[in-house]
Chain A
Amino acid sequence: MRPLRFALAQGLLLNDALTALRAIGLDVSRVTPGGRRLVVDGDHVEFVLARPSDIATYVERGAADLAIVGKDVLLETGARVIELVELGFGACRFVVAAPRGAVERSLDEYRHLGTVDVATKYPNVAERHFRARGIAVEIVKVAGSAEVAPQVGLADWIVDLVATGSTLRANGLAVVEEIASSTARLVANPAAYHLRRREIAPVVERLAKWAAAR
């Protein structure tokens, strides 16, 4: 059988994830953030680096057995994986934001025109949220920088992922509502979690202890 394959999200979470894995005694010395080798051997465990949104797909389809990935990615992709440990780092929030001082005006418009345009990189999260709240919106999917959408007249509101909120402030936006909060999670492929429980259980146990001690 191939070694346990552990997928790691490139980007903001990677350094914290490596710290956690080092702390529980896994050999991550060959994983180099920003390096060109994306599949590296780590002594009984193979590490794969991928874009955060692909990590969920890797684990759902069993290409990786375990991964550390943000809850935000899981919420947007709806991937069917087992979420085992809340790791505590990488905290961020999905929020609805609107130009400061313009919330009242856009609500007026909503009553008048019956719909609000919402720009977002996260159409699934946005759609689910507004459907649950019973607000009729048009989702405008953008590939990046949703925060400029109200300024350039692309949309009235945005749904975005924020950590500190400074990007929103810099673009004259204010949080209207919080949708969900997110931190990094240890996730597993359901079949692999069952079949390779003996290998996975110690990782789960040690990461849970590590997270609880923080």
Chain B
Amino acid sequence: MSQQSPIGPPRGFRDILPTEARELGLIEQTLAEVFADSGFTPLHPPLLEYGADDSTKRRRIQFLDRDGSLVALRPDLTTSVARLVAGRYREMTGVLRLSYIAPVFREEPAMSGGAREVLQAGVELVGGGGALADAEILALLVESLERCGLAVCESTVQVGDVGLVGGLFADLPEDVRGEVLAALRQGDIAGALRRAQQAAMPPDQLERAAIALTATDIGVGVGGAGELCNVIELARERWPGSAKRWGVPNLALLPALPYYTGVVFEAIHPNAGVIASGGRYDLLFGAFGRPRPAIGFAIDVLQLHRALFADAWEPRSQRPLLLLRASDDERATMRCAAALRAGGLAVALGDVAERAGRAVIEAEVIDERLVRLGDGRVADAAALCLAIRS
């Protein structure tokens, strides 16, 4: 080890500098507003949860606590929220609308370029079932992305249904069906179909499953596909009369996380990849005691920022910052700055080296009421406030 302290963060973590932090702040603020507009209340689960000695959960960042218990940096918030709700709202049977904006942590292989810290913004609708709840959450995802400034086009959102996919392989023995679904969760469509064929699935059923999983237009002979399309139609009603046809059914969409049970969806951007995902997970609560219907989504805020950036997004501009050069009279300088701030301006005394893309106006203090602007004009504090704010 060298004597010098490391100057960069550990692998998979990174510094977020002021320009990006300001833009992320705007996105977070917008998302918090959108969530609140639909009645979702923020909550803060803890950073650490208990870990699990389970080889399927190797993507967790886990370590031993000082008392010897295995703890993990939370790998996702849905599980934390489910644990919290099962513990703290045990007796409450009504509907909960919860939201969060917080980082989660996942192990990534070294040198794969993967981030280990992911900032998620999401909602969980606990206790709500049926097509209306599905459609509301799907529409809320689209609204969240749009209000942040993302252009949502036809193929931005793909919608699948874990239940329907299970139905395609319903006649297979349970263990084989498990293997088929596990292959599909890993994206292995070819392997899943071959496993089904080996288990003597009738050719017509196999053909139907192959078409349902790969065709661009589902619905041909898939029981329940109508309901899936209905959820998408219903979600589009969030914008009555709009001709915009976002949302593509895709039954091959099976999230790697095993707790989903019904509708699942993903938002995708050509440059940023998957920027949000979610779905119905009625079984997760069962693991914490009592089953409850639940649906939610999580937006990867950094990926959303990347997508906006790739689309030449122009973040809402902040009010300009007045850089006020002091006069020899320091009392007058303090009073002048106070007067300008009282008038609604953002004022910094001296210079700011990192301006994070913010516009600045330079001025010099003459006395407590008067400043000289960069172009030599002398302005009165009150008049300057009015001029800049307008």
Residues of A within 8 A of B (CB): 1, 57, 61-62, 71, 78, 80-86, 131, 185-186, 190-191, 194-195, 197-198, 201, 204-205
On whether the beta carbons of B113 and A197 are closer than 8 Å, the reply is no
Contact-size category for B: 20 to 34
On whether the beta carbons of A194 and B248 are closer than 8 Å, the reply is yes
On whether the beta carbons of A204 and B214 are closer than 8 Å, the reply is yes
Across the interface, A61 reaches (CB within 8 A) one of B113, B189, B216, B269, namely B113
Q: For chain B, residues 219 to 256, give those with C-beta under 8 angstroms from any C-beta of chain A.
A: 248, 250, 252, 256
B273 partner residues in chain A, CB cutoff 8 A = 62, 190-191
Q: How many Å from the CB of B54 to the closest CB on chain A?
A: 13
Contact with A along B172-191 (1 / 0, CB 8 A): 00000000000000111111
Nearest-CB residue, chain B, relative to A80? B187
Q: For chain B, residues 188 to 206, give those with C-beta under 8 angstroms from any C-beta of chain A.
A: 188-191, 194
A204 partner residues in chain B, CB cutoff 8 A = 214
B216 partner residues in chain A, CB cutoff 8 A = 197-198, 201
B270 at the interface (CB under 8 A from A): yes
On whether the beta carbons of A83 and B155 are closer than 8 Å, the reply is no
On whether the beta carbons of A194 and B187 are closer than 8 Å, the reply is no
On whether the beta carbons of A86 and B270 are closer than 8 Å, the reply is no
On whether the beta carbons of B187 and A83 are closer than 8 Å, the reply is yes
Contact status of A83 and B248, CB under 8 A, knowing A191-B268, A194-B158, A195-B270: no
On whether the beta carbons of B274 and A190 are closer than 8 Å, the reply is yes
Contact status of A84 and B189, CB under 8 A, knowing A61-B113, A197-B155, A198-B216: yes
Across the interface, B187 reaches (CB within 8 A) one of A1, A61, A81, namely A81
On whether the beta carbons of B194 and A86 are closer than 8 Å, the reply is yes
Q: How many Å from the CB of A54 to the closest CB on chain B?
A: 12
Q: How many Å from the CB of A56 to the closest CB on chain B?
A: 11
On whether the beta carbons of B190 and A86 are closer than 8 Å, the reply is yes
Contact with A along B297-319 (1 / 0, CB 8 A): 00000000000000000000000
On whether the beta carbons of B155 and A191 are closer than 8 Å, the reply is no
Can you spell out 18 A-B residue pairs with CB atoms less than 8 angstroms apart?
A: A61-B113, A80-B187, A80-B256, A82-B187, A82-B188, A82-B189, A83-B188, A83-B189, A83-B191, A84-B189, A84-B190, A84-B214, A191-B274, A194-B155, A194-B250, A197-B155, A201-B214, A201-B216
Across the interface, A1 reaches (CB within 8 A) one of B256, B268, B270, namely B270
Most buried by B among A190, A204, A205: A190
A62 partner residues in chain B, CB cutoff 8 A = 273
Q: CA–CA, A28 to B356, complex, Å?
A: 48
Nearest-CB residue, chain A, relative to B250? A194
